């Protein structure tokens, strides 16, 4: 790195302008007292399809805005490599995600606290969920209205979703109009992170307004390759920008917000991780922290697809030029319709395992069907019931494959590697079929396209999960918070055993929250910003 250009010193350097990084950049510069450099490996988020909810399909396989990782062969999924999209632009994965707003269950956070993470109980995190929300429903006990992030109701009803809600009630599952309210259990429409039919990412909500501040510098196309340390003190970052090697130093802290895949990768490249792994790659060990990259957790989605009797699905809208024009005009003039909603309209949370006291599965219902998530829709009317287990027990890892920071690490999710996860997969599929066979859906659903009637026994259902299961894109846990020997950060998100370094993103979650992870990550970033500022002013002792 001797030939690197050395830049000016900033108080804080944030690595990764994703869901968490954009929140930090805003909050840490708000007072005007501190200077912040935000480094983002990807480009700006000026691709129009990022901001139109249905554009999900346009970024899913687009290497300019997507890291497009693949796992190693997964033993539990018949040795298949699973495609892992991750956002690679301002806004990160929050710029390419499905926009669904789910916080998880109060018990998830009480569990984090019970693991020794003081301040992370439901009562400890709720104020931060309220703080970030600008909810179209206004303020209440459960919602905030003064925050930066717009959360909106879908605002229109779909015949298929109404049928699913009816089928749920025939099974004793109540309609739930607010999965982030008193209880998560039930069936209903999701709220989305949209403002007037456009994506409201943290780049839009937090970064854009902050970019006017002179104490914030944002560098895109700037990929961090290694942390600079003196002894155990982190002093700065090496990065590559448009092929040029650069170094930058910080006065206070480096904050890693590169996500659950790349935060552990960057720690390992910098000599912080399992000593044996680092030595195998000739990386000098700065801190032997065996938990870096371990404890990887992700949801496995099992997608049941149905042929629909009426041409009312998004497949039908997208099949013809006239259909495309109709929904295009509806979006243009009313900001409504499939373009404003994206893929998933509604969800269902319930229990399928006898030992569960709270919902253990979640459904994503899409009025669309395709062979792969984000792929081209089928040419017939179709819909998808995607079911996933909410608290998988399988654990995987992220390990560097080489010292080259530009080479993707090995991702091993170990899906379906425990009997409980296998049982839950089978029970989830059975429940989906039970739902689909209720009278409320008789007039709407035709035949089951996948798995199909020939797949009947428990063994066959498990084999279907192994043959077709795929990620639903919520990896967490690879720099987990805690105080046990496998913990990477403490409850203030400081990396154990080094100074001047925190991790603030999905990787710090000790366990997956029960639901989609964007909102929990924004909450984590809001709470972390408070802690960083408290520590800077000595207000926390
Ligand atoms: C396709 C998809 C659909 C999803 N759907 C939903 C949903 O509907 N609802 C929901 O709640 N959640 C959803 N999620 C999950 C949610 O978006 C993520 O949990 C969340 O965005 C993670 O935030 P993060 O800050 O941890 O990481 P990210 O948002 O991924 O941010 C990491 C950032 O760091 C950058 N970066 C990485 N390495 C470096 C480096 N070395 N140097 C500089 N920059 C670097 C990346 O380019 C990226 O911008 C989805 C995710 C995906 C991918």
In which band, very low, low, confident or very high, does the pLDDT at 3 lie, cut at 50, 70 and 90? low
**Percentage of residues in the chain having pLDDT higher than 90:** 95
For residues 237-241, give the mean pLDDT: 98
In which band, very low, low, confident or very high, does the pLDDT at 2 lie, cut at 50, 70 and 90? very low
Short-list 206, 239, 155, CA closest to 526: 206
Q: Where are the beta strands (DSSP E) in 272-421?
A: 272-273, 287-288, 300-308, 344-350, 361-366, 382-389, 397-399, 410-412
Catalytic pick from 158, 399, 474, 518?
474
CATH class of the region 1-66+112-150+192-293+477-536: alpha beta
pLDDT digits (tens, 9 = 90+) for 127-182: 999 999 999 999 999 999 999 999 999 989 999 999 999 999 999 999 999 999 99
201 lines ligand 1 (CB under 6 A): no
- Whole-number pLDDT of residue 267: 98
- Whole-number pLDDT of residue 8: 75
24 lines ligand 1 (CB under 6 A): no
In the residue annotation, 111 being an active-site residue is answered as no
259 lines ligand 1 (CB under 6 A): yes
224 lines ligand 1 (CB under 6 A): yes
Instruction: Please report the atom of ligand 1 found closest to the CA of residue 239.
Output: 42
Residue 22 pLDDT exceeds 60: yes
Our mutation pick for probing the ligand 1 site, out of 37, 92, 200, counting the most ligand atoms within 8 A of Cβ, is: 92
- Look at ligand 1, atom 23, and give the residue with the nearest C-alpha: 19
In which band, very low, low, confident or very high, does the pLDDT at 286 lie, cut at 50, 70 and 90? very high
- Of residues 517 and 337, more confidently modeled: 517
Short-list 374, 367, 326, CA closest to 157: 367
Cα distance from N-terminal residue to C-terminal residue, the chain: 38
pLDDT digits (tens, 9 = 90+) for 363-395: 999 999 998 877 889 999 999 999 999 999 999
pLDDT digits (tens, 9 = 90+) for 72-113: 999 999 999 999 999 999 999 999 999 999 999 999 999 999
**Average pLDDT value over all residues in the chain:** 96
Residue 541 pLDDT exceeds 70: no
Quick one: angle between helices 19-29 and 518-537, nearest 10? 30
- Whole-number pLDDT of residue 539: 61
- Whole-number pLDDT of residue 375: 82
Ligand 1 centroid from CA 444, angstroms: 36
For residues 109-131, give the mean pLDDT: 98
pLDDT digits (tens, 9 = 90+) for 23-42: 999 999 999 999 999 999 99
For residues 533-540, give the mean pLDDT: 83
17 lines ligand 1 (CB under 6 A): yes
Query: Token pair of 388, please?
Result: 């996933």
For residues 297-318, give the mean pLDDT: 96
Alpha carbon separation from 193 to 42, 55, 281 (Å, rounded): 22, 14, 42
- Look at ligand 1, atom 38, and give the residue with the nearest C-alpha: 258
471 lines ligand 1 (CB under 6 A): no
Our mutation pick for probing the ligand 1 site, out of 15, 17, 18, 471, counting the most ligand atoms within 8 A of Cβ, is: 18
Residue 540 pLDDT exceeds 70: no
19 lines ligand 1 (CB under 6 A): yes
pLDDT digits (tens, 9 = 90+) for 400-442: 999 999 999 999 999 999 999 999 999 999 999 999 999 999 9
In which band, very low, low, confident or very high, does the pLDDT at 357 lie, cut at 50, 70 and 90? very high
Ligand 1 centroid from CA 451, angstroms: 30
For residues 331-337, give the mean pLDDT: 92
**148, 26 contact by CB (below 8 A):** yes
How does strand 36-39 pair with strand 10-15? parallel
Ligand 1 centroid from CA 517, angstroms: 9
40 lines ligand 1 (CB under 6 A): yes
Q: Which residues contact 91 (CB under 8 A, 6 or more apart)?
A: 17, 18, 19, 22, 45, 50, 201, 202, 203, 204, 207
Q: Give the integer Cα–Cα distance in Å for 111 and 298.
A: 18
- Look at ligand 1, atom 30, and give the residue with the nearest C-alpha: 93
């Amino acid at each position: 790195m001797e030939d690197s250009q050395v830049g000016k010193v900033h108080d804080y350097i944030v690595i990764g302008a994703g869901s968490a990084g954009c929140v930090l950049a805003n909050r840490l510069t708000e007072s005007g007292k501190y200077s912040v450099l935000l480094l983002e490996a990807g480009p700006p988020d000026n691709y129009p399809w990022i901001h139109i909810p249905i554009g999900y399909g346009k970024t899913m396989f687009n290497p300019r805005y997507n890291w497009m990782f693949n796992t190693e062969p997964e033993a539990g999924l018949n040795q298949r490599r699973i495609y892992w999209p991750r956002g690679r632009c301002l806004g990160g994965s929050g710029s390419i995600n499905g926009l669904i707003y789910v916080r998880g269950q109060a018990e998830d956070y009480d569990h984090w606290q019970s693991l020794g993470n003081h301040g992370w109980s439901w009562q400890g995190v709720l104020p931060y969920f309220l703080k970030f929300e600008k909810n179209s429903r206004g303020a209440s006990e459960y919602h905030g209205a003064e925050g930066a992030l717009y959360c909106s109701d879908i605002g229109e009803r779909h015949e298929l979703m109404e049928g699913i809600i009816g089928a749920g009630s025939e099974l004793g599952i109540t309609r739930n109009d607010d999965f982030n309210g008193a209880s998560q259990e039930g069936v209903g429409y999701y709220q989305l992170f949209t403002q007037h039919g456009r994506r409201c990412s943290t780049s839009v909500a937090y970064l854009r307004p902050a970019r006017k501040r002179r104490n914030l510098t944002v560098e895109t196309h700037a990929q961090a390759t290694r942390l600079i340390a003196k002894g155990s003190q982190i002093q700065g970052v090496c990065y590559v920008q448009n092929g040029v090697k650069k170094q930058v130093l910080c006065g206070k802290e480096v904050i890693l917000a590169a996500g659950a895949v790349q935060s552990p990768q960057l720690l390992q490249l910098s000599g912080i991780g399992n000593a044996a792994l680092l030595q195998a790659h000739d990386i000098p060990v700065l801190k032997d922290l065996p938990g870096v990259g371990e404890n990887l957790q992700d949801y496995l989605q099992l997608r049941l697809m149905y042929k629909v009797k009426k041409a009312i699905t998004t497949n039908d809208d997208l099949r013809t030029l006239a259909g495309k024009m109709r929904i295009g005009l509806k979006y243009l003039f009313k900001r409504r319709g499939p373009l404003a909603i994206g893929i998933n309209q509604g969800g269902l949370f319930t229990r399928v395992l006898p030992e569960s006291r709270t919902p253990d599965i979640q459904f994503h219902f899409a009025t669309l069907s395709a062979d792969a998530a984000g792929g081209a829709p089928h040419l017939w009317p179709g819909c998808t019931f995607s079911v996933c287990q909410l608290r998988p027990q399988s654990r995987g890892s992220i390990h560097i494959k080489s010292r080259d920071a530009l080479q993707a690490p090995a991702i091993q999710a170990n899906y379906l590697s425990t009997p409980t996860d296998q049982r839950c997969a089978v029970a989830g599929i059975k429940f989906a079929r039970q739902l689909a066979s209720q009278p409320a859906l008789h007039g709407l659903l035709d035949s089951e396209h996948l798995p199909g009637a020939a797949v009947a026994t428990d063994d066959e259902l498990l084999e279907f999960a192994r043959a077709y299961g795929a990620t639903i894109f919520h990896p967490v846990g690879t720099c987990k918070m805690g105080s046990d020997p496998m913990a990477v950060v403490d409850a203030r998100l400081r990396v154990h055993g080094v100074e001047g370094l925190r991790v603030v993103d999905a990787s710090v979650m000790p366990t997956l929250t029960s639901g989609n992870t964007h909102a929990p990550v924004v909450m984590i970033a809001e709470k972390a910003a408070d802690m960083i500022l408290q520590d800077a002013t000595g207000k926390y002792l």
